Copies of this chain bind each other. A is one copy, B any other.
């Protein structure tokens, strides 16, 4: 096993967020269009609920329909989100514009920040926030 996949307990360890949304099927389509996500796994339940594992470059995230009975709440249900996504790309301006074209809305345009990142922020149609940027040094 490659060294970078071992932590201090010598275990294979990965962590990825699972975003709760209303209408997971539409959300998966949006993340493909907005960010170029690749679908690694997708389960469609008879009631239309979706669980999907997506790849963005070397990273992964999950998308699933909310299930408040299991404490999985969409941003629409809570009126905000408790985790934002930090998306690092070579060209934040292009990625930002692609997300907006796909239906995200501007929270902050892409600018050079005093903490030495070029970064902007968008709100996706499902209530999740994405910081899109890259370190400048």
Contact = CB atoms under 8 A, between A and B. Distances in A.
Most buried by B among A8, A58, A78, A127: A58
Counting every copy of the chain, the complex holds: 2
B7 A57 contact: yes
Contacts of A115: 43
Contact of A79 (B8, B61, B78, B95): B78
A13 B80 contact: no
Nearest to A17: B17
Interface in A7-47: 7-9, 11-20, 36, 38, 43
Contact of A80 (B11, B18, B73): B73
A104 B14 CA distance: 19
